[in-house]
Amino acid sequence: MLWRNVRQQPFVLSHVGHTSISPGAISARGRAEHEFNLELARRLERNLRSAGFALAVSVARSGPENLAKRVAAINSLHPDLVLSVHHDSVQGRYLETWELGGRERSFSDRFLGWSLFVSLANAYGTESWDFARRLADQLLARGLPFSQHHAEPVPGENRPFLDRSRGIYRYDGLAVLKGASAPAVLIEAGVIVHRAEEVALASNARQATTAQAVGDAVTAFCAQSAGHGTPRW
């Protein structure tokens, strides 16, 4: 795979999941997933740029969530690699309530950890899976566990593993992954309805660790040989 427009380096895009109007999951302490996504995506951008990837951009959209427009906006930028940044919740059957600051909040301490998703319906499905493996290895090497709850045989889950040992799931129907005109992986960076993990995910240390893992995975992915020993960039 040659980088688009014969650029001297790849264009890495961190896509911020959800919007301020359609904020995604709500954490155990009442924070919107979109806030977590935005913080981490900006950290990823800064980290990648400091690692020498000048063409590293985090993209967030405002207004109601329109996935078709979101995919079109991503592809209009002609990225070489897309990482869609999300934070996780659990199925409603696992939620409990607790009182915090005089308000009742939902939580579940049953599951924690990150997950990675790949769409093999993407035109670059093989490359997407390759990047997901590299990212999983970097996260695991830093002692961050993955969650297996998306494989549970329950409504809303039952996702097949592409790699059970690395926490990589196949989900062909995800619009951003399927429609991106570049290798694309979705990361659920952790479970924000888990009370302890929410605190960790909001911390500078956890965000820095995740960003370092992403940076090393991007570096390894981009440095690999394509086909007949020709560098990717």
pLDDT at 8 (0 to 100): 64
Asked, for residue 18, whether it belongs to a domain, the answer is yes
The CATH number of the domain holding residue 63 is 3.40.630.40
Asked, for residue 1, whether it belongs to a domain, the answer is no
3-state class (DSSP) for residue 227: coil
Asked, for residue 2, whether it belongs to a domain, the answer is no
- Over residues 56-103, the pLDDT tens digits come to 999 987 766 788 999 999 999 999 999 999 999 999 999 999 999 999
- State the residue range of the domain holding 142: 9-231
- Please give the model's pTM, rounded to 2 decimal places: 0.93
Asked, for residue 4, whether it belongs to a domain, the answer is no
Asked, for residue 173, whether it belongs to a domain, the answer is yes
pLDDT at 217 over 80: yes
The residue type of 52 is G
- Secondary structure, 3-state, 55-103: CEEEECCCCCCCHHHHHHHHHHCCCCEEEEEEEECCCHHHCEEEEECCE
Average pLDDT estimate for 1-12: 65
Asked, for residue 54, whether it belongs to a domain, the answer is yes
- Total domain count for the chain? 1
